[in-house]
Chains A and B, each alone.
Chain A
Amino acid sequence: MRVRCRKLQPFNKEAADDVIQKDHGLHPDDKYLKPGRIPHIWCPGCGLGVVLTTFIEAIRRKGLPVDKCAVVSGIGCTGRVAGYLDMDTYHTTHGRAIPFATGLALAKPDTSVTVFSGDGDLFAIGGNHLIHAARRNVNIKVICVNNFNFGMTGGQAAPTTPLEAKTSTTPTGNAEAPFNLPAVAHAAGAVYVARWTTFHPRQLVHSISQSLDKKGFTFIEAIAPCPTGFGRPNKLGSGLEEMRFYRENSEIRNGIDPGLAEIKLRGKIVVGTFSDVDRPDFLENYQNNVVSKVLSKGDKPGKGRAA
């Protein structure tokens, strides 16, 4: 028997890259994306791309010009969103996306500032910034993509990892209770709190476009599958199987108390818009209580300004 071997062709990365780069501009979303950056680095089956698509769709639906949008993101897999969007974006230090965004929102009040970051960035290292921005009601829109672990560094346990879930740092099961993100944001004073999974892209588009209209601190949690970091140790399967899990186990309950919407490993996921209230935002309060009083004091003769 003669075995004929085919001659091996070495993989030509440049030629393959050229083939991929040629496709820029074919997709209608490509005008919002930096040329040459797609395909992105996220794993096959990751839900981050879905959240990015829904954000672009919400901007298009609202008709917001690209010059009036700014996206700030922190570190992590979700932090790379700032590198892919073709608008004013800011890839900041770890956990400090909200302080940078606060400065941006106060300096340019007519810009719609969105913070796009992960659960590890916003709630682990940046937890304090988030609750204080929510307390002050700064005019920023937070989209928190929750994949239950620190994905980029290799699947370590995060403050959102459910009890008993296995990660690379908790191989026998997590002993710490997780944060309930909508409850934290609601308790801190966010005016709009919602949670959706990547299986609900249309609802996510609707929620993001509603939050773009609101004045104040809005918080949207998007639950995304992480097949590499969280799915594999917990035997949740591929990204597609996690999406099927969301289809079967998510329960839409709009307007309930977000404290009841806790997430357990392999348990029901309560999704929906939890709260939508109106409250004066930080800039308005600052104008009323500080700027106007200081200016009026300065007008009176003999009083007011020192030296």
Chain B
Amino acid sequence: MKFWRLPLDSEVHSIPHGTVRIIENRCKGCGFCIEFCPNGCLKQSKRFNAKGYHPPEVVSYAEDCADCGLCSLICPEFAIFTQLDEAKKITESDILKVSTRYSRKDKRYVKS
């Protein structure tokens, strides 16, 4: 799919951009947030927390976090939440990014 112009209502909408905050010592390492993050922002870290579990950590392309809050809803331990950083205006480059990101060209989303 290709967008050939900015959507007419692009003034009304914005692109939220958030930060993932992790309270590491509460984590019990169930892996729900890592599995179900829609943008794949999290992975299991190699270090241990105070209880001896591997807490999640934010991967290098963390700018994908859209402050959807699914991680804080699905975390059974109250150990992770998101904060809204900024709501960007929609530009031409974002439209291009949307049309390539979920396509097969994007190697991040290819299943190994």
Contacts and interface: CB of A to CB of B under 8 A. Distances in A.
Interface string B76-87: 111101000000
Given A16-B50, A44-B53, A23 B25 contact: yes
B78 A27 contact: yes
B73 A26 contact: no
Interface in A257-286: none
Interface residues of B, number: 24
A194 B23 CA distance: 33
A236 to B, nearest CB: 15
A201 B23 contact: no
Greatest chain A CB density within 10 A among B25, B30, B50, B73 is at B30
A46 interface: yes
Contacts of A243: 32, 35-36
B62 interface: no
Contacts of A205: 73
A229 interface: no
Contacts of B31: 240
Interface string A223-236: 00000000000000
B16 interface: no
B72 interface: yes
B76 A29 contact: no
A243 B31 CA distance: 10
B75 A49 contact: yes
Interface string B41-63: 00000000011010000000000
A52 B73 CA distance: 9
A42 B75 CA distance: 13
B76 A26 contact: no
Contacts of B79: 27
A83 interface: no
Contacts of B29: 44
B26 A20 contact: yes
A263 B31 CA distance: 26
Range, interface on chain A: 35 or more
B95 to A, nearest CB: 27
A42 B51 CA distance: 14
B72 A53 contact: yes
Nearest to A16: B50
A113 interface: no
Nearest to A21: B25
B73 A16 contact: no
B32 to A, nearest CB: 6
A201 B74 contact: yes
B78 A33 contact: yes
B55 to A, nearest CB: 12
23 contacts: A16-B50, A19-B25, A19-B50, A20-B25, A20-B26, A20-B50, A28-B81, A39-B28, A42-B76, A46-B76, A49-B77, A49-B78, A50-B32, A50-B74, A53-B75, A53-B78, A57-B73, A199-B36, A201-B70, A202-B73, A240-B31, A243-B32, A243-B36
Given A16-B50, A16-B51, A49-B77, 16 more contacts: A23-B23, A23-B26, A27-B23, A30-B78, A33-B78, A39-B28, A44-B30, A44-B53, A45-B30, A47-B76, A50-B74, A53-B73, A201-B70, A202-B70, A240-B30, A243-B32
Interface of B: 21, 23, 25-26, 28-32, 35-36, 50-51, 53, 70, 72-79, 81
